[in-house]
Amino acid sequence: MIDRATRDKLIVALDLPTYDEARALVDRLGDTVSFYKIGLELLFADGLSLAQELKREGKRVFLDLKFLDIGNTVEHAVAAAAKLGVDFITVHGHDTKTMTAAVRGRGASNLKLLAVTVLTNLDQSDLDEQGIAATPGGLVVGRARMAENAGFDGVIASGQEAAAVRAETGPKFLIVTPGIRLPGAETGDQSRITTPEEALRFGANHLVVGRPINAARDPKAAAETFLAHIAGA
Ligand code: C5P
């Protein structure tokens, strides 16, 4: 029997082009999955309606919208998202001004703020191009520390960065990790992947899984396999 806390560690990414496909996947997964991530693609296909439906159905919802704008705009966008009653939202963790604006916008709501530190598709040459004199790993840890100081609840980090972030932040700081694959599975376009067991050992609190579940022939069986790995970790 898998308890709710274990089930909540698995966040299934609803990376699908239409509301109907996302709704059908949620219905197929039923009680197996308790936490969903809605990103920019589904946002433009009634993703916010689905987010509210999922909340009414007792699910947890992570809106992966990666806000970055002037403080006034970020504050009011976060306040509007908080009114939807969703659980997690992402904001770029580039600077303290943006993040403290997000903290003001969240107000007294239960919305948890997660910082995107360095996008996992960027490498050293992209940082050099921006005139940033840091390694991607060093920048991730520095931005995680800045996010914690600004009052953020956690960060998005690959499993390979999770251990360094965990070492530099408090025990309650959330680490949410995408790029999760079972041993020997298709990696798709992900390069910095980890297994569920590795990510949890490195300090991740939640694992984001997309294609290994949303593109599986039997998504429910795939989700159950991931949950068994999480429960056994
Ligand atoms: O299909 P896959 O399991 O690779 O999907 C991973 C999900 O996590 C996608 O929704 C992707 O946008 C998201 N993500 C990521 N890397 C990040 C941040 C988010 O893969 N750094």
Domains of the chain with CATH codes: 4-232 (3.20.20.70)
By CB atoms closer than 10 A (0-12, 13-18, 19+), residue 130 is exposed
pTM for this predicted structure: 0.95
pLDDT reported for residue 123:
87
pLDDT reported for residue 190:
67
CB count within 10 Å of CB 202 equals 21
Token output for 91: 């904001």
pLDDT reported for residue 122:
87
37 is catalytic: no
Q: Is 188 in the pocket of ligand 1 (CB under 6 A)?
A: yes
pLDDT reported for residue 116:
97
Q: Which of 66, 97, 112, 220 is catalytic?
A: 66
Give me the tens of pLDDT residue by residue for the chain, a chain 233 residues long: 889 999 999 999 999 999 999 999 999 999 999 999 999 999 999 999 999 999 999 999 999 999 999 999 999 999 999 999 999 999 999 999 999 999 999 999 999 999 999 988 888 999 999 999 999 999 999 999 999 999 999 999 988 899 999 999 999 999 999 999 998 887 777 667 899 999 999 999 999 999 999 999 999 999 999 999 999 98
Question: Which atom of ligand 1 lies closest to the CA of 188?
Answer: 4
Q: Is 46 in the pocket of ligand 1 (CB under 6 A)?
A: no
